[in-house]
Structure 1
Amino acid sequence: MASFDEVVRGRRSIGKVKDEPVPRELVEKLIEAAVWAPNHFRTEPWRFIVMTGEGRRILGEAYVAIASQGWTELTEEERVKKYDAEIAKALRSPVVIAAVCSPSDDARAVPQEELAAAHAAVQNLLLAAHDNGLGAVWRTGAPTYHPKMKQAFQLGEREELVGFIYVGYPDMPQPAATRTPGTEKTTWLEG
């Protein structure tokens, strides 16, 4: 079993994965790790939508709905190509998990803290994926925050997507990475 330091330092965004199913129990294990993220007042402001198989087409169709707004001048052949390319974005891994910030009604809950907690849950999920031999990448971008995406996943008025986590068995070498040492990013205020 890897140490915590090895898991944290070894995790990378893995965008290329095999088209091999990931067992449901393993996906549930990742989500269980996610829900242990810190959150103010124990509001647990998150939920997850897991897409596999044809279920990923909901995401693909949302990508199409957003992108196609700019296709008015395209030929039918060009539209078909663009349509296929947008659908393909959702099929890049056998599992796609939509992470949703679902804020609490607790009056003490601060919206920014609810969102931060949902992001922390995604980090836990990514670390758990790496620790379990899976590759994962957290994808966002402008379409993630578009109203049509929110509509596609039937989110509540106050809910918002924090990203899509693409998960599968790695099909690429582990990329090397470096970081600026923490000491160079730290200021100590001492008395």
Structure 2
Amino acid sequence: MFLINLKQIIKERRSISAYQDKEVSADLVADLLETAIWVPNHKLTEPWRFVFVQGEAKQKLAEINREVALSKTKTDNEQDRQTISDNAYEKINQVPFLFFVINTLHPNEQLREEDYASSSCLIQNFSLLAWEQGLSTFWKSGKLAMCEETAALIGLKENERVVGQIQVGYPAKSPTPAPRHPAKDRITVME
């Protein structure tokens, strides 16, 4: 019975960035993370930490997103720039809950990559657990997550990297799943 439910959750989970105007509890997110950390992790380095971005810090992150968007635009049209600016700000401001998954960079290159893979598994676990609770997650790893201003805001250390900015909310829509290529078409058997 459990496997059927897990299969269903894996297939139904979607990354949805349109959210209902409904608060997401920090306690719920923390509780889901307590389970999500149970991932394969070579040498049990447990390289992750989490930064919850709320209140004034979230407003600062929205401003950073505005600046990143404006720096990428090629238009000089003031009205277009204002629209881009406002949209970028709201992309962060409208997210009910936002946190960063941060990964310590192990001095050993092989363990560093294994730690990154473990942290990615943790994000997938969290996404599945959130979906089970009726929440959508959106894993972002773009310019906002990687810029110097964000690094300063979240207290990123020199021996760390951002694995993802995770947005969490109750989804406002239910998109149709995109078809996937069957795994059986991508299996190579070596004998």
Q: Pairwise mapping of residues 33-48 of structure 1 onto structure 2 (< 5 A)?
A: 33-48=35-50
Relative to 1, partners in 2 of residues 1:178 and 1:43: Cα closer, same or farther, differing over 3 Å?
same
Bigger fraction of residues in helix: 2
The 3-state SS of whatever aligns with 1:163 is strand
Relative to 1, partners in 2 of residues 1:57 and 1:100: Cα closer, same or farther, differing over 3 Å?
same
The 3-state SS of whatever aligns with 2:89 is helix
State the Cα distance separating 1:52 from its structure 2 match.
3.3
Normalised to the residue count of structure 1, the TM-score between the two structures is: 0.84
Q: Pairwise mapping of residues 1-191 of structure 1 onto structure 2 (< 5 A)?
A: 3-69=5-71, 81-104=83-106, 110-190=111-191
Cα distance in 1 for partners of 2:177, 2:79 equals 40
Kindly tell me the number of residue pairs found equivalent between the two proteins: 189
State the Cα distance separating 1:64 from its structure 2 match.
3.3
Bigger shift: residues 154-163 or 1-10:
1-10
Cα distance in 2 for partners of 1:176, 1:71 equals 31
Tell me which amino acid in the other structure corresponds to 2:188.
T
Normalised to the residue count of structure 2, the TM-score between the two structures is: 0.84
Gap runs ≥5 in structure 1: none
Per-residue Cα deviation, 1:55-100 (whole angstroms, up to 9, x for no partner) = 3223213223434546899587776554433321212321012111
Cα distance in 2 for partners of 1:39, 1:9 equals 24
Tell me which amino acid in the other structure corresponds to 1:55.
A
Provide the alpha-carbon RMSD of the alignment.
Answer: 2.7
